[in-house]
Amino acid sequence: MHPVAYIIMHICPADDIICPRVNTSSCTRPAMPHELNPLEKQRLEKLERLREMGIEPYPNRAERTHTAAEAKAALEAAEAAGEAEAPRVTVAGRLRAIRPMGKITFAHIEDESDRLQLFFQANTLGKERLKLFNKLFDLGDFVQASGYLFRTRTGEITVHVEDFRMLAKAITPLPPAKDEVVDGKVVRHAVLADPETRYRQRYADLAVNPEVRDIFRTRAKIVRALRDFLDERGFLEVETPILQPIYGGAAARPFVTYHNQLKQQLYLRISFELYLKRLLVGMFEKVYEIGRDFRNEGISFKHNPEFTQLEFYWAYADYQKVMALTEEMLAYVADRVLGTRKFTWQGHEIDLNPPWRRVELRQGLKEATGIDIAEHPDAASLAAAMQAQGLHPKPNASRGKLIDQMVGDYLEPTFIQPTFLYDYPRDISPLAKAKPGDPNTVERFEGFIGGMELCNAFTELNDPLDQEARFLEMGRTYAADDEERHPIDEDYLRAMRYGMPPNGGFGMGIDRLTMLFTDKHSIREVILFPHLRERSADGKAATNGSEGKASAPEEGGEA
């Protein structure tokens, strides 16, 4: 019996998706073998040898009495209690280091809790068993080992192995990622560092880079803390549709999909806002949702096509109350997650203690640019003023968009410490309520940290007639192909006509908050599987259509 030298990969004719081990008889295309590299072939041969010896390389059941951390604690406790007998443990994990030394072998396994050293001795196991381990067990394999705990000469807590077995054979070797301690600091060698491979094969990244696992533990803690904070204050967590017949609640282009049976076009939501506010009509007073939004827009270090958002709506509150709650909430989350309200982000010392700095948008822009937007009630006048100041107004932009541009260029980057920028122009805020006595300004704020927009909130518009007028106004303002032109959600207007209590609403990007708390510059570092451009299944050496294009001029020349 020759070992299988490759795993069959197959291209399904229906959808062009490469899938392993499909029923090949149902497909018309030839199977595409995924060639294993020499290292993988060697391991496959070892796997076959194990099978020939009657050892199942992927057994159904595993046993474990202690995690690595629990095993270490068990020995320390026994030592502290002065017990004569060493604790016996059965541990399980992935082999991360193997050091054979003749008649003994040292190895380290790693589980989620910690690393633990294993000690294999020919005297204990017999020569054949030791040889089996040395020859057929590789870095990356999952193993189980039983024995008693002791300390080596250097004091490291170690399992003296009396029995061991394979739990799962690894065919593809993980990057080596050896740790060396230099002057008390851990230096990792040959670590998987290529960002593309790390994102495309996040499983390998997580397996060899423990600090990446910590990012996602922190992320989970953040979400847990936000839930607890809102739950404690009587907010109800709800789930609203992701597939929506009409998208709205934000200025963004949607992903479009289709329901076959209903023969209906649907959109992946770009925000939760309009559904959550319908719930206020339905007499819930405090609701929130944590979930995924989808925006069919550019991808950058700050943007992923799907991202996680928290939104809450709070009846009988306004944007001032929401501002205060935001300060309280982020301080709470920092206490829970970081144990402190001060942290470092990209070299900046951030202090989350309330109160945050408050900057009125008009005043802030006046100081930063010398332009008083109140003196320029239309786009043409404002654009002229910007030109006069040496700024470069975007052509054909509305007044609101010009203001937005100035905020992005001159204010946002300066808001390193937590800052609320408040009182926004009405024409870029169609769901916010105008300030009394100032119809061109709405009660809206955005929160910034580290020069980055983190959250957005307003006193919500609850006047159905005003809302309808705003929708119509938006329809007139934007050209038919403008990405921010939205269809009018008649059902939302109907809901509002039933009566919506006055309320304050809030939205915040969880990904960006996680970036702040984990000191990451890129959103891809805090999303487990960030979206990348499609490549071949093995993630490498995709040739795509480049050959055809490159040869085209030659063919043209011959013709």
Partner RNA sequence: GGGCGCGUAGCGCAACGGUAGAGCAGUGGCCUUUUAAGCCAUUGGUUGCAGGUUCGAAUCCUGUCGCGCCCA
Under rule CB under 7 A, residue 106 binds RNA: yes
Binding residue for RNA, selected from 24, 26, 152, 389, defined by CB under 7 A:
152
User: Coil, helix or strand for 497?
Assistant: helix
Binding residue for RNA, selected from 19, 83, 99, 355, defined by CB under 7 A:
99
Residue 100 or 245: the one with the smaller Cβ distance to RNA is: 100
Residue numbers 186-205 binding RNA by CB under 7 A: 189-197, 199
Binding residue for RNA, selected from 90, 417, 477, 522, defined by CB under 7 A:
522
Letters for 395-424 (x = contact with RNA by CB under 7 A, - = none) are --------------x---------------
- Shortest reach from residue 281's CB to RNA, in Å: 38
- Shortest reach from residue 22's CB to RNA, in Å: 25
What sign does the CA torsion over 36, 39, 40, 45 have? positive
What sign does the CA torsion over 536, 540, 544, 547 have? negative
What sign does the CA torsion over 135, 140, 143, 146 have? positive
Binding residue for RNA, selected from 21, 61, 153, 263, defined by CB under 7 A:
153
Determine the residue type at 101: M
What is the Cα–Cα distance from 354 to 519, expressed in whole angstroms?
21
What is the Cα–Cα distance from 544 to 535, expressed in whole angstroms?
8
- Shortest reach from residue 135's CB to RNA, in Å: 6
- CB neighbour burial string for 17-42, b if at least 16 within 10 angstroms, e if fewer: eeeeebeeeeeeeeeeeeebeeebbe
Sole residue written with tokens 């050209």:
479
Under rule CB under 7 A, residue 220 binds RNA: no
Under rule CB under 7 A, residue 213 binds RNA: no
Sole residue written with tokens 């935001």:
326
Binding residue for RNA, selected from 25, 37, 60, 396, defined by CB under 7 A:
37
What is the Cα–Cα distance from 495 to 516, expressed in whole angstroms?
37
- Shortest reach from residue 350's CB to RNA, in Å: 18
Residue 66 or 401: the one with the smaller Cβ distance to RNA is: 401
User: Coil, helix or strand for 90?
Assistant: strand
Residue numbers 265-304 binding RNA by CB under 7 A: 298, 300-301
What DSSP character marks residue 480?
T
Letters for 453-482 (x = contact with RNA by CB under 7 A, - = none) are ------------------------------
What is the Cα–Cα distance from 345 to 332, expressed in whole angstroms?
18
Residue numbers 298-327 binding RNA by CB under 7 A: 298, 300-301
Sole window of 36-44, 68-76, 382-390, 457-465 interacting with RNA (rule: CB under 7 A): 36-44
What is the Cα–Cα distance from 318 to 466, expressed in whole angstroms?
18
What DSSP character marks residue 419?
E
Binding residue for RNA, selected from 1, 53, 84, 541, defined by CB under 7 A:
541
Residue 512: Cβ within 10 Å count = 21
- Shortest reach from residue 152's CB to RNA, in Å: 3
Q: How many residues bind RNA (CB under 7 A)?
A: 69
Residue 170: Cβ within 10 Å count = 19
Partners of residue 107 on adjacent β-strands: 98, 118
Under rule CB under 7 A, residue 102 binds RNA: yes
Backbone angles phi, psi at 166, to 5 degrees: -75, 135
Under rule CB under 7 A, residue 139 binds RNA: yes
Site residues, RNA (CB under 7 A):
37-39, 42, 46, 97-104, 106, 108, 117, 119, 121-123, 135, 138-139, 152-154, 156, 158, 173, 175-181, 189-197, 199, 298, 300-301, 394, 409, 521-522, 524, 532-535, 541-547, 549-551, 554
